[in-house]
Structure 1
């Protein structure tokens, strides 16, 4: 039987792994952005059973090079412009290494006091850095917690909203009334999933129309939907507004939506998964106007703020409501610190019991970059998107499909949907860049999302050159 790895063996292997990571990052730009192999290639290359005897780390690293990395979509590639960015960075990786090494289980304050308290302070740091409303600070009635993703944040907000709307009866008696959630046609799919998981049923989500020009939620349509449900005897429980929709980064009108939610006593959750990071820059905080009316808010540092997945920052204005909705206390978890009421037990702020020490990587990132470095990163992405959008606007074959307030540009060929879809296919086939698509007001559009810390003007210019050349071939008479 192979012996446990000693500290000295770990030191040698750890150096080798760090070298491998550094070499991977330094050669990313030379690799195809997406795998060129057909489905099943990696699985077919792996042995059918686990090894009988242990193998050295060098052998594992060799197979990483030979088997794994050729079968990856390289999300950290400077030419990766698909979806939204899923940044990581050196400091984040180091923080994750420390978290993995400590192996802390942070479900209770008592199981990891520093794990809990560092997280509380990091969320306060972020709230201050982004100038979020004071009601989200832990020094008052609110506070923040790290979820794994904005999807989980939406589910937790939905559960808290149901608890409030039912006056707590949903836990004891089940959902004996029809409760409703509301979001726009551009809201994320996780909103519907949260409603399903929470037991609202297939009809639990009311999809609200958007302004055709801005793609933002129409407050008049929201009010009409709420009033129709009230007239039918249903209970409006939660509105999920979006700052930076997945499709086009549209920003819902929070002041008007917040006023409606306050009028009808409906929980307002604001999903800023991608665009929330922009608020580290004062000139981009306009998107948060009206946030002071929100009951909860989240954004993903793992998208555009250089912190590796998974790390969603989630705040509530009243942590007591959240804890009351989610607390289940078995005897085996009772302890003096929790009974005192003087500590935070983050197990009561999420669906799972267990939780990793995610705050470490956030701490490493915030300390390495500082506010100045984070603002520079965001501003660089916005500037590169502006640079690309100018190319699109200056070419009569292309047109912009939506506004681009952050670092996503949606565009299309004037020639129409079929031509635009073929353009995307041809450009992605080069292996040099990777873009995705959406539909804006029913029409096909390409999406170019800037966000990798290694992306420069040269990479954006290369993307445009590939697009322009492919358009030449595609539109040739």
Structure 2
């Protein structure tokens, strides 16, 4: 593909994406096709001769988009948002065009330095503790996801708890991670990968009202493990749990970690984005205790997947835990000690120029634009919660500090499951579910920049109408 051919094809692709976004409200949010539909429609192998981009775009229209779950749809209220935006897509396009491999400062100086600056910008924007800035002992890096951030934090915590012995001889004692019953499944996966074993995670009970980790239960678990010869290694506290957006009490948890010398990682994958707004920072109280912190701009901050912002208070122990330097990567800049090599801050060696899309987003929207986006989502969720609260057939199942509302019919689980199925079958909206206090509960998460009051009201209308058919009169 020559530059001129690329120019022509690129215009066609950008036009196609713009048309896709423009027509999203007209599409069903999810596909009703059975498994195997796309595979059955594809040829058995690649074409013998190359095809024009127009043929590929035509197949996107017939084979791909009709069989997607459209995460950017204004009626997509499932899971958590996974936003993208025009600036983010353009930043990714530039990154792909440059084709930089940013494993070392030497392999892409601007790739490394822009990333360092963007993580400092974000730290200022979220008003994170000064210890996470690159000017001091800490600093930030872009991981692919909060799951990877948790894994890296766990590896650093084991390195610290073992006095570095795990690098040479593996896990030599019983080490343990702690999280609440509402903690993300990636915490267990990280413990398993780190070699802590099947019982490497101690699940801590939560307050039944707030669904946040109980400090008293955490202390009891830590003391019991110490008495049994287990080394308390890392606590993963959550600001905005996946199920209900519960906020663990960091001041109390942090004090316990400081008392016993336990690494504290704070997972704010979803809710961290909200803290661009000063009025939504209450969950950060106690963050000064944290050894590491992460959130996902790719969830609620208009930056396409994958982009997790991860900070550590001490980059030295992170690098010490993860660095491996073969001869073929040695270079003068690295040897000088004056540069950051982000290969030492993650599990893989290679890395893309992900800071570009973040740079594009921050510059296009500015602080005011990002805050407006977050505040819109919070206001729309509050609007929906008011509808739930005003209808005696429904009840709120948990607090809603951000843009997720957990609710249910005052009926049994089967009725609530059927309510969810009927509403999603409309093709106009898509919600997901969880369990709160053991009960089937519906989740409505607002986050798409395309979602307006009309879309939230449509979701309520569909839910109310379905409830009419499900409940006895």
For 1:52 and 1:352, locate their aligned partners in 2 and report how far apart those are by CA, in whole Å.
35
Shift of 1:130: 0.7
Q: 1:185 aligns with which of 176, 181, 191?
A: 181
1:394 counterpart residue number: 390
Is 2:96 aligned against 1:100? Answer: yes
Q: 1:257 aligns with which of 253, 257, 261?
A: 253
For 1:111 and 1:415, locate their aligned partners in 2 and report how far apart those are by CA, in whole Å.
60
The TM-score with structure 1 as length reference comes to 0.99
2:48 counterpart residue number: 52
Q: 1:292 aligns with which of 288, 293, 299?
A: 288
For 1:227 and 1:338, locate their aligned partners in 2 and report how far apart those are by CA, in whole Å.
43
Choose 307-316 or 228-237, whichever is displaced more: 228-237
Q: 1:140 aligns with which of 136, 139, 145?
A: 136
2:223 counterpart residue number: 227
1:194 counterpart residue number: 190
The TM-score with structure 2 as length reference comes to 1.00
Shift of 1:156: 0.2
For 1:372 and 1:131, locate their aligned partners in 2 and report how far apart those are by CA, in whole Å.
15
1:337 counterpart residue number: 333
Counterpart of 1:181 in 2: which secondary structure?
Answer: strand
Shift of 1:192: 0.2
Is 2:205 aligned against 1:209? Answer: yes
Shift of 1:444: 1.0
Is 2:391 aligned against 1:433? Answer: no
Report the aligned-residue RMSD.
0.5
The C-alpha deviation readout for 1:195-253, integer Å capped at 9, x for no partner, is 01111100000000000000000000001111111111111110000000000000000
Unaligned stretches of 5+ in structure 2?
Answer: none
Counting only pairs closer than 5 Å after superposition, residues 152-191 of structure 1 correspond to structure 2 as 152-191=148-187
Q: How many positions carry a matched residue from both structures?
A: 473
For 1:404 and 1:444, locate their aligned partners in 2 and report how far apart those are by CA, in whole Å.
17
Shift of 1:416: 2.2
Is 2:83 aligned against 1:87? Answer: yes
1:363 counterpart residue number: 359
Shift of 1:415: 1.4
Shift of 1:476: 3.9
State the 4+ residue runs in structure 1 displaced beyond 4 angstroms: none
Counterpart of 1:15 in 2: which secondary structure?
Answer: helix
Q: 1:353 aligns with which of 349, 355, 359?
A: 349
For 2:392 and 2:88, locate their aligned partners in 1 and report how far apart those are by CA, in whole Å.
42
1:35 counterpart residue number: 31
The C-alpha deviation readout for 1:134-177, integer Å capped at 9, x for no partner, is 00000000000000000000000000000000000001011110
Is 2:447 aligned against 1:451? Answer: yes
The C-alpha deviation readout for 1:294-313, integer Å capped at 9, x for no partner, is 00000000000000000000
For 1:184 and 1:397, locate their aligned partners in 2 and report how far apart those are by CA, in whole Å.
31
Shift of 1:106: 0.2
1:464 counterpart residue number: 460
Counterpart of 2:281 in 1: which secondary structure?
Answer: helix
Counterpart of 2:461 in 1: which secondary structure?
Answer: helix
Shift of 1:457: 0.1
For 1:135 and 1:170, locate their aligned partners in 2 and report how far apart those are by CA, in whole Å.
26
Unaligned stretches of 5+ in structure 1?
Answer: none
1:316 counterpart residue number: 312
Counterpart of 1:309 in 2: which secondary structure?
Answer: coil
